[in-house]
Amino acid sequence: MIYFDYNATAPVMPEAREAWLNVTEKLGGNPSSMHQAGTRAAVVLAHSREKLAASMGCHPADIIWTSGATEANNMVTHHFAQKSPANAEIWVSAIEHPCVLDSALHYFGKRARLIPVTSEGIVDVDWITQEMTDKRPCLVAVMAANNETGVIQPWREIHAICQAYEVPFFTDAVQFIGKMPCTGLGQCDYVSGAAHKFGGPRGVGFLKIPHRSQFTPLLWGGKQEGGRRAGTENVATIAALTAALEAREKQIGRSEHLLRKLWRDNFERELLRQLPGTMVVGASQPRLWNTVSVIMPDGDRKLQWVNRLDKAGFAVSTGSACTTGKEDPSHVLSAMGLKPTIAVRSVRFSAGWETTEDEWLALLAALIKIQR
Ligand code: PLP
């Protein structure tokens, strides 16, 4: 099986597996325990926190370990629902992952406003600037890169606007971290990430919050994570997260992603040429080097392509993993103004660091073959 669904989850890389095994086999203590075994685990935890903070450019104490990005994102919306006045609005981009959108709707109801996006899948910065002139939401949430289209969002620009108006800014950087340099992310007020998107294990992630800020926990109990998230930390998966990120950052530092972008671009170009009627979503915008969202030719529904490719030995997706299995048009493509009859024809190909040029070429050949 050739895997083209890295945006759903990526295989665990050797560096992460090694770090996980090392902690699991040698460091069995609870990091909150006072004995030596506990202290040794606490040292690994502190070291991991320092590494992640150094990558993002923030203070280690600003990082809270979580069970993944769904938890981290729910923590943010919950925190603002608790601390903000009863009439406060939250502004979230219309293309956020459901764990941001649905939790914002859950906590804020009609006070959750959707920030529109352009037809190319970019959050409308002018809308934010205009609305800010006479209103202040309690939080603006715009992801760093979209999981379905791969379109990179102007998070730095939006963060600067929020700073000017003293409005907290949150970016879900799940698809961005480990693929793109994360310089500057640590300056955003709230940032979330998940290890399994860049070669770490599933079930571990983090939330970065402003330095020395008060935070209302979502999970109550023990005083772990500075009283901001109760529950014994999974030290082995946390060590694996930072080992994976460190390895990915080295690859990014060597610009290894640029070659992979060329392979993806070549696939796109040839697909458009050899399979008439296809369209690449957000084609004119800066996008993650690994992602292609394609509208397949008229008359073909996305699940047919996914199933046919599956039989041909390729794992691809209809969009985000959480909506797989449904043939409803994606909320991301709908927000971009694509008609439901067009949006139901979208298929997402997402490669990873391990994907080779030959695999992109094999995917192209398979698509051409199975269309007939
Ligand atoms: N945010 C984005 C942009 C995602 O792509 C995902 C997963 O697909 C999540 C959040 C949820 O992450 P997790 O699986 O760690 O809960």
Same domain, 222 and 310: no
- Residue 322: pLDDT band by 50, 70, 90 thresholds? low
Domain end, chosen from 251, 279, 294, is at: 251
Same domain, 301 and 215: no
Question: Domain with 284 in it: what CATH number?
Answer: 3.90.1150.10
Which residues fall within 8 angstroms of residue 344, CB to CB, at 6 or more apart? 301, 302, 327, 328, 329
Domain tally, the chain: 2
Tens of pLDDT along 351-369? 999 999 999 999 999 999 9
329-357 burial code (b ≥16 CB/10 A, e <16): bbbbbebbebeeebbbbbbbbbbbbebee
Same domain, 31 and 171: yes
Domain end, chosen from 251, 285, 316, is at: 251
Residue 10 tokens, joined: 């990526």
Mutate to test the pocket of ligand 1, among 66, 147, 148 (most ligand atoms within 8 A of CB): 147
What pLDDT does residue 328 have? 79
What does the mean pLDDT of the chain come to?
Answer: 95
Question: Domain with 238 in it: what CATH number?
Answer: 3.40.640.10
CA distances from 180 to 137, 153, 193, 288 (A): 29, 12, 13, 8
What pLDDT does residue 320 have? 55
Same domain, 270 and 129: no
Indicate if the pLDDT at residue 324 is higher than 80.
Answer: no
Same domain, 19 and 52: yes
Segment 186-203 shows an average pLDDT of 98
Q: Residue written as tokens 């352009």? A: 118
What pLDDT does residue 321 have? 52
Indicate if the pLDDT at residue 299 is higher than 80.
Answer: no
Same domain, 40 and 189: yes
For atom 13 of ligand 1, the residue with the nearest CA is 69
- Residue 225: pLDDT band by 50, 70, 90 thresholds? very high
Same domain, 172 and 58: yes
Active site residue 322: yes
Same domain, 206 and 312: no
Q: Is 99 in the pocket of ligand 1 (CB under 6 A)?
A: yes
Indicate if the pLDDT at residue 325 is higher than 80.
Answer: no
Range of the domain at 345: 2-10+255-371
Indicate if the pLDDT at residue 61 is higher than 60.
Answer: yes
Residue 269 tokens, joined: 């170009």
* More confident site: 58 or 299: 58
Tens of pLDDT along 68-107? 999 999 999 999 999 999 999 999 999 999 999 999 999 9
Same domain, 72 and 175: yes
Same domain, 118 and 131: yes
Same domain, 295 and 324: yes
Continuous segment of H or E residues that includes residue 40: helix 36-56
What pLDDT does residue 361 have? 98
Same domain, 112 and 223: yes
Question: Within a 10 A sphere around the Cβ of 39, how many other Cβ atoms?
Answer: 12
Q: Considering the entire predicted model, what is its pTM?
A: 0.97
Indicate if the pLDDT at residue 259 is higher than 90.
Answer: yes
Q: Is 147 in the pocket of ligand 1 (CB under 6 A)?
A: yes
Atom of ligand 1 nearest to the CA of 203: 15
